[in-house]
């Protein structure tokens, strides 16, 4: 058993001809090489003897959702640390807003869980939750009681295909109508309309899709090849679809179209320099799995500083680095402050489209925005965000936390904060102001870096309260309470 595989499976169809005809067999499903669905005991796990045709039927029926659906059913669920956390977020929300809101929102959330939680396959059998959710080029595997896993989507898709192909082969030719229908449904998985595919991948209802497309032929507008197969979830969504799913529910159709038109106008670049710095970061990440989103951002920022500007004690020259890496910055007026910027790469770019109507336009906030997008360009081009990222859009919280940590550490390393504090004689307020001026960052970034460094523990109660209050008033990059995430391969 491969301990690195996100999911793997051992199965034997029943030796009894009648039971086998009815879909019975014994199976153990493994999560990263450890038995997860099994019977007997932890000490001596044995196969689950059941009608495994139920699992095949469930995956076949929900194939499109499993391999294409990425947006949560409600935009406020972006607060969830991972898909296994969505009910906790919902319960906290409903406790504040009341039963009427809960009743209006619960059905969509339950429908989403029934599609993505593979444990819902079973009828009359209680097995622990196993949530499977795609996020761009990676996949969340959230197993009950275990650390959530982020693994390459292709590995997870292939594992699911392998499991279901084994089941379909075991029960091929069954005369039981229920079993035969499940096998047939698996063989014909993914059949459906292009509109259905687009709705799943963007989260847009049909009318909004039509408004965004402006009557254009679907594949022609979105940049997809008409001969690509939807069957196994291997189609590339392209930058327009990626941006559309991040802005759906946040912008109206006219503004979404404006963002997409801006992306279509981005010229192709030569990201050789950017590729080299990405390779340096990835080489460092071949070590032990990264357990925290913030930790990955800190490590990447340190590598970038060492490679591009070794002196940590001086203000980081973002403009020079963008030129060195061949990253252009293009302004765009959106007449809304709901998103700040869009980073574009892959087919076009690398480029950052900067919303001229963003809420915070100060030089310090703009530097943080650009550094955040630089983090995505370095860390996420071959991972969780293929083609683009929308700052302010519906983006996986893990990659946003990591980009925030990267940006803060790039602009103001925690080590510098600790060094400066050793010899500082003034007030904590003056200390924050001094770092703000010297490194051209906002006070909230300074306070976050103090909070996340060893300095915070050395402060007295009044000074700690000052830092915490400032973070609550203007939380620009989030707190240090990052989620624990176990790496599956190089996804993080």
Is the model more confident about 352 or about 3? 352
Q: Taking 70 as the threshold, does the pLDDT of residue 357 lie above it?
A: yes
**What pLDDT is attached to residue 1?**
60
- DSSP output for 398-422: HHHHHHHHHHHHHHS-HHHHHHHHH
**Per-residue pLDDT at 242:** 86
Which two three-digit tokens encode residue 441? 């960052």
User: pLDDT tens digits for 191-216?
Assistant: 667 777 788 888 888 899 989 988 77
Is 123 a residue whose pLDDT tops 60? yes
Compare 32 and 309 and report the one with higher pLDDT: 32
pLDDT digits (tens, 9 = 90+) for 187-197: 988 766 777 77
Under a CB-based contact definition with an 8 Å cutoff, are residues 139 and 156 in contact? yes
Q: Quickly state the pLDDT bin for 490 (edges 50, 70, 90).
A: very low
Instruction: Give me the residue label for tokens 């529910």.
Output: 249
Q: Label residue 245 exposed, middle or buried (CB < 10 Å: 0-12, 13-18, 19+).
A: buried
Q: What is the pLDDT of residues 61-97, one digit of tens each?
A: 999 899 888 889 998 998 898 999 999 999 999 999 9
Cα gap 424→433, rounded to integer Å: 12
Instruction: For 225-258, give the DSSP string.
Output: -TT---TTS----HHHHHHHHHHBTTB-HHHHHH
Report the half-sphere exposure of 221 (CA within 13 A, side-chain side): 18
Res. 57: pLDDT tops 90:
yes
Q: Label the pairing between strands 486-487 and 149-152.
A: parallel
Q: How high is the pLDDT of residue 201?
A: 82
What gap in Å lies between CA 81 and CA 89, rounded to an integer?
9
Q: From CA 155, how far away is CA 360, in angstroms rounded?
A: 40
Q: What percent of the chain has pLDDT over 90?
A: 62
Assign 384 a pLDDT band (cuts: 50, 70, 90). low
Question: What pLDDT shows up at residue 228?
Answer: 53
Instruction: Give pLDDT, residue 230.
Output: 61
pLDDT band at 240, cuts 50/70/90? Answer: confident
The CA-based dihedral angle spanning residues 392, 354, 444, 371, taken in that order and rounded to the nearest 10 degrees: 100
**Which of 150-154, 393-397, 456-460 has the largest mean confidence?**
456-460
Measured in Å, how far apart are the chain's first and last C-alpha atoms?
23
Joined tokens for residue 183: 């096998």
- Taking 80 as the threshold, does the pLDDT of residue 286 lie above it? no
DSSP-assigned beta bridge partners for residue 50: 25
Which pTM was predicted? 0.85
- pLDDT, one tens digit per residue, over 96-115 is 999 999 999 999 999 999 99
């Amino acid at each position: 058993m491969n301990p690195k595989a996100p999911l793997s499976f051992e199965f034997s169809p029943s030796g009894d001809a009648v039971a086998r005809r009815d879909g019975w067999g014994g199976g153990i499903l493994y999560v990263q090489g450890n038995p997860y669905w099994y019977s007997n005991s932890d000490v001596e796990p044995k196969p689950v003897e059941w009608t495994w045709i139920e699992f095949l039927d469930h995956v076949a029926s929900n194939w499109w959702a499993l391999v294409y659906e990425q947006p949560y059913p409600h935009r406020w669920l972006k607060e969830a640390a991972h898909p296994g956390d969505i009910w906790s977020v919902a319960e906290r929300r409903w406790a504040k807003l009341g039963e009427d809101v809960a009743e209006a929102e619960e059905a969509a959330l339950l429908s989403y869980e029934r599609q993505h939680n593979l444990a819902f396959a079973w009828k009359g059998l209680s097995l622990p939750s196993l949530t499977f959710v795609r996020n761009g080029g990676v996949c969340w595997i959230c197993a009950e009681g275990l650390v959530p896993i982020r693994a390459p989507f292709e590995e997870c898709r292939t594992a699911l295909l392998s499991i279901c192909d084994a089941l379909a082969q075991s029960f091929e030719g069954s005369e039981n109508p229920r079993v035969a229908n499940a096998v047939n449904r698996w063989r014909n998985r993914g059949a459906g309309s292009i509109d259905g595919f687009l709705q799943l991948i963007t989260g847009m209802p049909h009318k909004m899709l039509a408004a965004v497309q402006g009557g254009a032929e679907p594949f022609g507008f979105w940049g997809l090849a008409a001969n690509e197969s939807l069957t196994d979830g291997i189609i590339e969504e392209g930058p327009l679809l990626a941006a559309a799913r991040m802005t759906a529910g946040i912008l109206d159709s006219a503004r979404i179209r404006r963002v997409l038109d801006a992306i279509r106008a981005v010229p192709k670049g030569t990201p050789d320099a950017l590729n080299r710095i990405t390779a340096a970061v990835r080489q460092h990440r071949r070590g032990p799995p990264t357990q925290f989103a913030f930790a990955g951002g800190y490590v990447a920022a340190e590598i970038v500083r060492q490679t591009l500007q070794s002196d940590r004690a001086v203000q980081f020259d973002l403009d020079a680095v963008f030129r060195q890496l061949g990253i252009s910055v293009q302004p765009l007026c959106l007449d809304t402050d709901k998103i700040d910027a869009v980073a574009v790469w892959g087919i076009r770019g690398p480029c950052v489209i900067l919303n001229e109507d963003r809420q915070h336009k100060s030089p310090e906030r703009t530097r943080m925005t650009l550094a955040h997008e630089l983090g995505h360009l370095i860390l996420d081009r071959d991972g969780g965000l293929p083609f683009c990222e929308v700052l302010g859009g519906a983006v996986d919280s893990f990659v946003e936390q990591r980009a925030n940590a990267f940006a803060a550490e790039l602009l103001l390393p925690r080590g510098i904060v600790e060094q400066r504090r050793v010899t500082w004689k003034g007030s904590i307020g003056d200390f924050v102001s001094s770092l703000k001026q010297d490194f051209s960052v906002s006070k909230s970034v300074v306070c976050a870096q103090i909070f996340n460094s060893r300095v915070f523990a050395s402060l007295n109660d009044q000074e700690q309260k000052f830092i915490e209050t400032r973070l609550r008033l203007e939380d620009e990059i989030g707190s240090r309470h990052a989620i624990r995430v176990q790496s599956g391969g190089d996804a993080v």
